[in-house]
Amino acid sequence: MIIHVKNKNTLIIDDFKFKCCVGKSGLSSNKTEGDFSTPKGLFKLKRLYFRKDRLGIPKCAISKKKITKNLGWCDDPNHKKYNEEIQIFDKNAREKFFRKDHNYDYLITISHNDKKIPHKGSAVFIHLTDNYNPTTGCIALKKKDYDILLYLIDKKTKIKIG
């Protein structure tokens, strides 16, 4: 199954068409760190992270992990853990998962820049939104649509952006 993000506000999976939002700079074939664009391409879904304290344990057929207070993602291109999960140690080298807002109550990591090439972009997720405001480079959906997405995806599902 393929999730298709056709443009800056439409995500299609199976027979479902959802409103979504992407990076403030739109879709890009040449993603760079901090450019506010969402990378174009075909990517694997890697892992669902979730806030058990807010949502319980979701039923989902991909790998999942509970978000704890010290869990994050390294977005520092000069760090050895660039573009991977980290235990928070430096406020300048991370995207914190445990947030006051609800945007990261669910988030799915994708295989963009798995080779960890510095400055080619990191922390590109599928996460939640309340208002469809542009993201810093992720794809975001309302919770009701995300719940349907979680029901439909499996380990073979990929996301095509652009």
Residues 86 and 68 sit within 8 Å (Cβ to Cβ): no
Strands 71-73, 85-87: pairing is: antiparallel
Domains of the chain as residue ranges with CATH: 2-161 (2.40.440.10)
Decide: helix, strand or coil at residue 90. coil
Query: Tokens 């890697």 map to which residue?
Result: 46
* Model confidence at 94: pLDDT above 90: no
Q: Cβ distance 49 to 106 under 8 Å?
A: yes
- What band does 10 get if pLDDT is binned at 50, 70 and 90? very high
pLDDT at 24: 97
**Predicted confidence (pLDDT) per residue in 47-81, tens digit:** 999 999 999 999 999 999 999 999 999 999 998 99
Q: What is the pLDDT of residue 89?
A: 67
pLDDT of 37 over the 70 cut: yes
pLDDT in tens, 97-155: 999 999 999 999 999 999 999 999 999 999 999 999 999 999 999 999 999 999 999 99
